[in-house]
C-alpha cells in the first residue's frame, strides 16, 4: 500500500527530474547545434541507463515508485522524442528522422541492459 509520504514525495521528485531534463537538454542542444535533437537523445539514453541500474538494484516498491516512476519518468521524454522526429520529417529531413528513431531505440536498449548489469552488481 502506498503511503501518504510517498504520494507527497512523488511530485517533488518528479519536479526534480523535469528540471534536470530541461537543463541537460538545453546544455547539450546549445553545444551540438543543428536540427538533430541531441539533447533529447542524451536525456533518454541516460534515463534508460539509470532505469536499468534501478531495476537491477531490486528496490523496494516505494523506492522503485519514487526513483523509477517519479524521477526517471519525468526526466525522460517519449512525447518530445516523437514530436522532434515528426518535425524532422516535416522538414524533409527523412534520414535524420529515421536515425533519431533507430539510434534512440538501439542505444536505449543497450543503455538499459548495461544499467541492469551494473545495478545487479551494486
If residue 30 lies in a helix (H) or strand (E), which one and from where to where?
helix 4-32
Query: Is 52 among the annotated ligand-binding positions?
Result: no
Cα within 13 Å of Cα(96), Cβ side: 17
d(CA 92, CA 5): 49
DSSP state of 36: S
Query: Is 73 among the annotated ligand-binding positions?
Result: yes
Q: Which residues are documented as binding site for Na(+)?
A: 73, 76
Q: Which residues are documented as binding site?
A: 73, 76
Amino acid at each position: 500500500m502506498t503511503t501518504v509520504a510517498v504520494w507527497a514525495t512523488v511530485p517533488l521528485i518528479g519536479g526534480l527530474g523535469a528540471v534536470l531534463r530541461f537543463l541537460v537538454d538545453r546544455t547539450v542542444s546549445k553545444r551540438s547545434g543543428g536540427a538533430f535533437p541531441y539533447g533529447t537523445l542524451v536525456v533518454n539514453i541516460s534515463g534508460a541507463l539509470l532505469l536499468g541500474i534501478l531495476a537491477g538494484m531490486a528496490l523496494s516498491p516505494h523506492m522503485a515508485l519514487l526513483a523509477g516512476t517519479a524521477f526517471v519518468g519525468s526526466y525522460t521524454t517519449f512525447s518530445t522524442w516523437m514530436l522532434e522526429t515528426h518535425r524532422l520529417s516535416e522538414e524533409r529531413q527523412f534520414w535524420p528522422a529515421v536515425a533519431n528513431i533507430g539510434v534512440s531505440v538501439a542505444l536505449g536498449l543497450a543503455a538499459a541492459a548495461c544499467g541492469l548489469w551494473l545495478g545487479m552488481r551494486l
